Chain A
Amino acid sequence: MSIAESIQSIGFLTEIRESSLVYPVIMTTHLACIAVFGGMILMTDLRLLGLAMTDRTVTSVVDQFRPWKRVGFVIMVTMGLLLATSEAEKYSGNPYFWAKMVCLALVGVHALIFRPRVYNNTATMDKAPSLPGVAKTAGALSLILWLSVLTMGRLIGYYEGPRNPQAYQTRQPAVQLTGLGRVSR
């Protein structure tokens, strides 16, 4: 049994996969978190670019959103893990899933680079006569990375497996992963 198979055969993950309701509910929670908490990421990025909330200091904007961005991130990752592990075989063979993971790893690299220089250094940003280049770079890269995460995440649902019909036939179709949002096609 492959690693992916053994992961998704864990009791409750099998139940998630086979339930016609639990899987979409987890997915809805994942998407609702994007809608509710994603705006905080976008507004922080836009503030760092000097495009939004410019009446306020960078410190005030970063501080207001930071705790809730963390809460949202934890819920989103938890739901994402449940989705991915309950369909481990499908996700592990899906190049868009791995592209999304790479983008998320780059989000981590972004934090390592810019947290000390920007997010934990907002007092310096506020004292500067104009927004420093490093703040704009952090905002722009964060925007690009998160939009890439979103795009790769959506494309996961469109990958139809390797172009080898025999390899595909041996798989058990559980919850329809491909073609989400395109019901009748």
Chain B
Amino acid sequence: MIFAYDPSTNPLNNNEWSFPLLECIHIAGFTLSIGTIAIVDFRLLGLSGGSKPAQLLKETAPWTLFGLIVMLLSGPLIFSSDPAMYLANQSFRFKIGAMVIAILYNYTIHRKIALANASPGVNKLVGLVSLALWVSVVAGGLFIAFV
């Protein structure tokens, strides 16, 4: 045990409602962040009309960031309810790995290509990888409860 910390003292474990409601906030946060990224992805994939990818990215970026902040505040709080269990959980490790890659990818390659007038082929590849990464994060999160 690397944490000199007793989770049973955590208010999250001593109140019937705080943990489930925190999860709801977490889900709402990632719906906003992943959902707004997916809007850009659908455009990159040529599956929706509307503004050009660059314009769409600018319109959604503040909401993506807001969602990410909610996600990154609620996530560690959820983690704090039982760090040892989460650290030992394969699905949690997968999720964190996928999430780090997905965030880095979002603010580097994804952003660059969406802002550039890239060819349809490149756009499609970048949009597809983005969707795959974020769906992996969600899947990893859900499977924490099943592995």
Contact = CB atoms under 8 A, between A and B. Distances in A.
18 contacts: A20-B146, A24-B142, A31-B141, A32-B139, A35-B30, A35-B135, A36-B131, A36-B134, A37-B38, A39-B39, A52-B63, A60-B51, A61-B50, A150-B27, A155-B20, A182-B19, A183-B82, A183-B145
A185 B135 contact: no
Q: State the majority secondary structure of interface residues on B.
A: helix
Interface in A47-65: 52-53, 55-56, 60-61, 63-65
A32 to B, nearest CB: 5
B82 A184 contact: yes
A68 B146 contact: no
A43 B36 contact: yes
Interface of B: 13, 19-21, 23-24, 27-28, 30-32, 34-39, 42, 47-51, 55, 59-60, 63, 81-82, 85, 89, 131, 134-135, 138-139, 141-146
A24 B24 CA distance: 18
Contacts of A52: 59-60, 63
A107 interface: no
A43 B39 contact: yes
A181 B135 contact: no
Given A31-B142, A63-B50, A183-B144, A40 B39 contact: yes
B24 A36 contact: no
A181 B91 CA distance: 12
A28 B34 contact: no
B50 A185 contact: no
B35 A38 contact: yes
Contacts of B131: 36
Given A35-B34, A36-B35, A150-B27, A158 B145 contact: no
A3 B63 CA distance: 44
Most chain-A Cβ atoms within 10 A of its Cβ — which of B37, B50, B134, B144? Answer: B50
Interface of A: 20, 24, 27-28, 31-32, 34-43, 46, 52-53, 55-56, 60-61, 63-65, 67-68, 147, 150-151, 154-155, 157-158, 176, 179-185
Contacts of A40: 35, 38-39
A42 B59 contact: no
A32 B138 contact: yes
Contact of A34 (B19, B23, B27): B27
A56 B59 CA distance: 9
Contact of B27 (A43, A65, A154, A183): A154
A131 to B, nearest CB: 17
Given A35-B138, A38-B31, 17 more contacts: A28-B142, A35-B35, A35-B38, A36-B131, A37-B38, A39-B34, A43-B35, A53-B59, A55-B55, A56-B51, A63-B50, A64-B49, A65-B39, A68-B47, A151-B21, A151-B24, A183-B85
